[in-house]
Structure 1
Amino acid sequence: MQLNKQFWYGILIGVIGVVLFSSKAVMVKLAYNYQVDAISILLLRMLFSFPFYIIIAYVYRNKKGDVPVLKKDYVWVVFFGFVGYYLASYFDFVGLTYIKASLERIILFLYPTIVIILNRLFLKKSITRVQAGAIGLTYLGIVFAFFDEVAISEENTYLGGFFVLLSAITYASYLVGSGWLIPKFGVVKFTAYAMLVSCICVFVHYSIISEINLFTFSWQVYALGGVIAVFATVIPSFLVSKSIKMISSSNFAIVAGIGPISTIILAAIFLNETLTGLQLFGALIVIAGIVFMSINKGRK
């Protein structure tokens, strides 16, 4: 019974984390209305996030995980921080300059299957019937929810889609790596370390590539950067890591199916993107897939 409660709690915080992460796409699109480029808004996101992760990393510096940490594990933290949060975020932000927030989510949602494939290839984890069935339901819902968006071919849609696909692949790699590194470092310390690596990578990238003056944006851009940092980066990053520890990266990948639906709703509210009856129907199917997986897992 206690195991069932813990699993449901892991599902709940995973859903909250995913919804908060999903709001990022909408806020980034809002920021683009103020003539800011992808690397600049990404830099603001990391600048506002950086102090939080510094403080958290310092507070939890002596906190030990369940498994002894080896020197090579720190190398893996750097690697997954670089790939999973820096590259994934950069590719995603660039992709959002070309496509709608709602279309971004359907492409990004490819990562659950990538997670499960990577787990199978590198960690030898089997794909259960429950996971396969839940994935089938959630993908069916995504097809319905984004049918209209996919059918409409806009200028640079394929280029934007390619960048978001790269984001899905790199983020999936992070989820798989975090699954076996979190027990070594602990949820909070691992997340703080990985995000600090990502922040530093963005700082270096901006200093080398960008010629834009960071202090010339409107106040709305800074405000959105701060909101993205706190509510779409810091808070959900810890919620997601905690959820992965409690329910596994494969099951979290299924829970993340709620992400595209929440983005559709937020995009309809804040970006005036159309929310059709077909998309609402798809939302119900996605939610059904998550509930199906949760109930069957809880009964074991």
Structure 2
Amino acid sequence: MSKSLTYTLLFLIMMIWGFNVIAIKILVESFAPVTITALRILLAGIVVMLILGIRKEFRKVTKPQLIYITIGALTGILGHHFFLSVGLTGTNASNAGLILGLVPLMTALAAILFLGDKLTILRMIGIVSGLIGVSFIVLNGERSVGSISRGDLYIFLAVVTQAVSFIAIKRATETMDARLMTGWMQIVGAFFLFVVSSRLEPDGLSTLTTGTPVDWIVFLASAILATGIGHMVYNKAIHQIGAGETAIFINLTPFFSLTGSYLFLGERIMVEQLFGFLFIVAGVLLGTGALEQSLRKHKQKRMAS
């Protein structure tokens, strides 16, 4: 796959992921949030496994790999998607999309804490910038610190749990294919979500009969395109062009979430949200080391020429 095609696919996936926040907002308001999330993740995992099976890339996993899969499923699937689905019942899609833009930054911070990555001055500035951006978003309007939306807090926890899961994924993918890791995480994580939904939403399955045809079209698009195929393409891109370049594209998802919430849900875009978006973009570029990596490559090219 050529670099230009990889860039094009990444752009499309970022657009799908941005709009997926709006899709999830629609789903959690139409069905029991945790139940529909468990079903969505299960379908995504099945799609990933079917694709791997057709391509004859399905492999058995070892016990150490299974441990990382379980950790990833508990954090990246159960934790992330639980907080995301419940959080979206208490905040708007535009706020959620912007806060989710912190994922690369929180992942970089987790790598510094757990993997020993170097903390540079630029990275520190990026982390602070990202947190300032979130403060603009969660305190927009007439809110004060004491009245931060619980939904916004849950979305932030969704960011933290996904960042932790990426550490487990990084460890596991040293010995197994990232796409296989994704599929197993989704299936195991869906099981955990079904267990939680049976406790929190005993009548959750009955809400599935109340959905409209549009709701189910949104469900299929979210499960298959965004959650299933989207993550496979993204993991493949990391392998081809590197994590630094791929992370830069993540900056597009808050933009598409913001515009999508305006176009499809009629949500107002606040000035504070725009300021927050700019700070988060700057934070991701600096905090993930993407800017430093780009400058380093440019310097090496100049020295070689």
TM-score (norm: length of structure 1):
0.77
Cα distance per residue 1:235-260 (max 9 Å; x no partner): 22113323444566577555423322
Shift of 1:108: 3.1
Q: Which residue of 2 aligns with 1:225?
A: 219
Q: What amino acid does structure 2 have at the position aligned with 1:226? A: L
1:84-136 C-alpha deviation (Å, 9 max, x unpaired): 02220111110000001111233334443332222122211113456556666
Provide the residue aligned with 2:90 in structure 1. Answer: 98
Instruction: Specify which of 250, 256, 263 is matched with residue 269 of structure 1.
Output: 263
The question of 1:118 aligning with 2:110 is answered yes
| Counterpart AA for 1:296 | L
Spell out the pairing of 1:276-295 with structure 2 (5 A cutoff). 290=285, 292=291, 295=294
Contact 1:182 1:190 in 2 (8 A): yes
Question: In the TM superposition, what is the alpha-carbon distance from 1:224 to its structure 2 partner?
Answer: 1.6
Residue identity opposite 1:200 in structure 2: F
Task: Give aligned pairs, total.
Answer: 290
The corresponding residue for 1:107 is 99
Deviates more, 1:172-181 or 1:262-271: 172-181
Q: Which residue of structure 1 lines up, in the alignment, with residue 303 of structure 2? A: none
In the alignment, structure 1 residue 27 sits paired with structure 2 residue 23: yes
1:219 positional shift: 2.2
Matched, 1:78 2:70: yes
Is structure 2 residue 196 aligned with structure 1 residue 205? yes
Q: Which amino acid is the alignment partner of residue 237 of structure 1?
A: H
Does the 8 Å contact 2:105/2:130 carry over to 1?
A: no
Given the superposition, is the C-alpha separation of residues 115 and 287 from structure 1 closer, same or farther in structure 2, using an over 3 Å criterion? closer
8 Å contact from structure 1 (residues 107, 165) kept in 2: yes
Task: Check if 1:187 corresponds to 2:178.
Answer: yes
The letter of the residue matching 1:52 is V
Q: Is the CA contact (8 Å cut-off) linking 1:22 and 1:232 kept in structure 2?
A: no
Alignment check: 8 A CA contact 2:100 2:159 kept:
yes
Equivalent residue letter for 1:173 = V
Deviations 1:180-225 (A, max 9, x none): 3223212221221222222222333334543131333322322221
Secondary structure of 2:223's aligned partner: helix
2:98·2:257 contact (CA, 8 Å) conserved in 1? no
Distance 1:141 1:211, change over 3 A: closer
Aligned to 1:260: 254
Counterpart amino acid of residue 205 in structure 1: V
Task: Determine if contact 1:60/1:188 at 8 Å carries over to the other structure.
Answer: no
Question: Which one is further off, 284-293 or 164-173?
Answer: 284-293
The Cα shift of 1:49 comes to 2.1
Distance across 2 between alignment mates of 1:120 and 1:132? 11
- Contact residue 179 and residue 244 of structure 1 kept, 8 A: no
Distance apart, 1:76 and its partner CA: 0.7
Corresponding residue of 1:88: 80
Partner of 1:159: 150
Identity %, equivalent residues: 20
Secondary structure of the 1:149 match is coil
Give 2:100's aligned amino acid: L
Aligned-residue CA RMSD (Å)? 3.8
2:48 pairs with 45, 53, 56, which one? 53
Contact between 1:14 and 1:243, CA under 8 Å: does it hold in 2? yes
**Partner amino acid for 1:269?**
L
Gaps of 5+ in 1: none
Residue in 1 that maps onto 2:295: 296
Give 1:41 shift: 2.6
Query: Match of 1:185, SS?
Result: coil
Does residue 177 in structure 1 map to residue 182 in structure 2?
Answer: no
Report what 1:37 is aligned to: 32
Contact 1:44 1:226 in 2 (8 A): no
Contact between 2:101 and 2:280, CA under 8 Å: does it hold in 1?
Answer: no
- After superposing the two structures, state which structure 1 stretch, 21-30 or 87-96, moved more: 21-30
